[in-house]
Structure 1
Amino acid sequence: MNTSWEEMEQSQPVVTKMVTNSIVKNRISHAYICFGDYGTPKREFAILLAKSIFCKQRIGVEPCQSCTDCKRIDSGNHPDIHVIIPDGASIKTDQIAHLKKEFNYTGLESNKKVYIIEQADQMTVNAANRLLKFLEEPSQQTTAILLTENSQSIIPTIRSRCQLLAFQPLNQEQLENKLKDAGITEANARILATFSQNFDEAIERSKDTWFAQARKLVVQLVELLQNNKDEVPIFVHTQWMPHFKERKQLQEGLDLLLVLFRDMVHFQIDAKASIVFSHQLDKIEQATMNWSMEDITNDLTLIMEAKRKLEQNVHPQLVIEQLTLQI
């Protein structure tokens, strides 16, 4: 991961300007909340900022990307950077307690420390309150970077102690064109750009047989819902659930389903240029003969509700079975 501030500025000019000015003036905030849609480069930003803090061979604001500090940050092995991710469905109190304990020790190689909390909106109430106490005693040498798609789910007392950085949605057209330049077909470039955070991830997805199969299963499910609904329960049991084994994978399957139903809307209103599954145009046309605009709108709401149920830890197979019965 060798993203530079120059590259970051192309997709996030406002955030980049704010933070690079702080780096130049040596006024980096003690805490940031980076918020924006799925796909925005929040994690890349956090890693880049950490490099700018620790790199001893920085050129202006740009980390050198080749020193020991930069390389260890890339590999996730820097002793003074701590990353917290949800333990199961949430970030728990003991994870924040462990973080505070680690930070009581002097930095191993300097007094600087950085901690990154991914999906910060998934903190339990107790974990959030414990983090709040931590933030109320800021150290000049400590930088907290909280990443979230939903900043409103972070308690107001934490938000008020952090600098808020709003990440703009990615420019999908630029990513599509870059993928086409790399030899990806137009149809695949459209889908990959819809479901990827950046060029490197999109290229990885283009080689991912799991993602290719996921797309096929979504199209098959819609065909069965349209033509042979009696076979849907068997399909869910024998093909859908074995492929989408984890909640994250299942969320991605529902995201693909959302996009396919939105494509039906775009077809209905004659906005074919916005269709993502452009290589399935004939099947989308057939589906729109089966579903009215009202049906499609209702089904989009049902899919969103299924995604929320998954986040609330409802049993995955039950969520999909209920959804396919309701569509």
Structure 2
Amino acid sequence: RLPHAFLFYGPAGVGKEALALEVARLLNCESDTPGICNQCAACVKIAHLEHPDVHLIFPTPAESNVKPEEIQQALQAKAENPFQDVSFGTKNTFIGIDTIRDLKRESGYKRFEGKYKVYIITQAEKMRPEAANALLKLLEEPPEGLVLILITESIHKILPTIKSRCQLVRFPYLPEATLLELARQYLPDVPEADLPVLARLSGNNLKRMMALAAEDVRAMRDEMVELLRRIVRISRGQDLLKMLEPMAQKKDRERIFLMLWLMLLWFQDVLYLRSGHVERIHNRDAQDTLEKFNAFLPHTDIPAAVFAIEQAIQELQDLRNLNPLLILVNLAIKLHSVLKS
């Protein structure tokens, strides 16, 4: 018997949303043959996010802060690439009670043309408490022909009562071979020789791999290493602000995130270098520079640096209203203390 609700959970960039759309196609495919034909009207409409019985629900900013064309552009980007995030820049997003009320009302309507009504709720951890409680009532008494697929990277933030009413499906990190195969499909312009480097630097995360591919990742890494050197040498708070302001003024949180991510991998690689696990190093193409960096700071408390960077990354992701400059300055002060010790 088909469960009426699934909870897909696991790290970002491993295909949870892409598989949810595949499930929607599998349930509504009009072909007589088993599986998904990818050619019938239902399959094509779902692929373009245009099927009247398949709905993608995602966090949005407050109504006064979002324009209809922004939502349309986000959906179009998602249809072109199911691994693409539905994003609204720096705006705070959430899933509110009105969204879930609309879902509950519409789920009771007769299906337009599909075999199943499928609702895919991405970033389900961003449901407001009242929205989560409203969804719980629907999970307790779902109408016939309804399938709900909740998706999250943070299963610990989902109400236990919701988890208990869903079929849990855990998504592990993608094997490198699978990641490279998907990268060839979604990153056709990236040279084959660069794909393994991007895969390692992404942490086997296709979304992050795409973001890194849009940058000159080697230049960004060089910029990050130079930033660390300057943090070690800096002596005045005023100089620290002057150094970090240009980076924060661009208001590109994604680029700041990628810079901090590369910094995190760099310090993790120093740990691998010190412990003799060189086969685990992400920055293999820059191992000479990594070894020189380690020799320059032989007594540094690397785990403390890793913790500080992880904390800054979490703040950058969770505290969308906080000025990135404050996060960067706080991190730089901590790293200066750690690296100078």
| TM-score > 0.5 by shorter chain | yes
Report the CA distance between 1:92 and its aligned residue.
1.8
**Aligned with 1:274 (options 269, 280, 283):** 280
Report the CA distance between 1:322 and its aligned residue.
0.6
> Over residues 128-159 of structure 1, what are the superposed CA-to-partner deviations in whole Å (9 max), with x where a residue is unaligned?
11111111111220100011112121001101
Report the CA distance between 1:205 and its aligned residue.
5.2
Residue of structure 2 equivalent to 1:120: 124
Residue of structure 2 equivalent to 1:172: 176
Residue of structure 1 equivalent to 2:309: 303
- Name whichever of 132-141 and 251-260 sits farther off: 251-260
> Over residues 80-109 of structure 1, what are the superposed CA-to-partner deviations in whole Å (9 max), with x where a residue is unaligned?
111111223422222212222332332221
TM-score by length of 1: 0.79
Percent identity of paired positions between Structure 1 and Structure 2: 27
> Over residues 25-78 of structure 1, what are the superposed CA-to-partner deviations in whole Å (9 max), with x where a residue is unaligned?
xx2210000111223221121011000011111531x21011221111111111
> Over residues 221-248 of structure 1, what are the superposed CA-to-partner deviations in whole Å (9 max), with x where a residue is unaligned?
223234557655333211x2255613x5
Q: Could you list the runs of 5+ residues in structure 1 that have no partner in the other structure?
A: 1-26
1:158 aligns with 2:132: no
Give distance in 2, aligned partners of 1:67 and 1:201: 32
The number of aligned residues is 295
Give distance in 2, aligned partners of 1:106 and 1:229: 68
1:122-271 map, 5 Å = 122-172=126-176, 175=179, 184-185=192-193, 189-195=196-202, 197-198=205-206, 202=209, 204=210, 207-209=213-215, 214-228=220-234, 232-238=240-246, 240-242=247-249, 245-246=252-253, 248-271=254-277
Report the CA distance between 1:178 and its aligned residue.
8.5
- Partner amino acid for 1:185? A
Change (3 A) 1:226 1:272: farther
Three-state SS of the structure 1 residue aligned to 2:13 is: coil
Give distance in 1, aligned partners of 2:99 and 2:242: 41
Residue of structure 2 equivalent to 1:42: 16
Change (3 A) 1:297 1:193: closer
Q: Report the RMSD for the aligned CA atoms in angstroms.
A: 2.9
**Aligned with 2:323 (options 307, 310, 315):** 315
- Partner amino acid for 1:82? H
Three-state SS of the structure 1 residue aligned to 2:149 is: strand
Give distance in 1, aligned partners of 2:216 and 2:295: 30
TM-score by length of 2: 0.76
Residue of structure 2 equivalent to 1:291: 297
Give distance in 1, aligned partners of 2:36 and 2:200: 28
- Name whichever of 98-107 and 39-48 sits farther off: 98-107
- Name whichever of 269-278 and 225-234 sits farther off: 225-234
> Over residues 274-300 of structure 1, what are the superposed CA-to-partner deviations in whole Å (9 max), with x where a residue is unaligned?
111222222212221343565210011
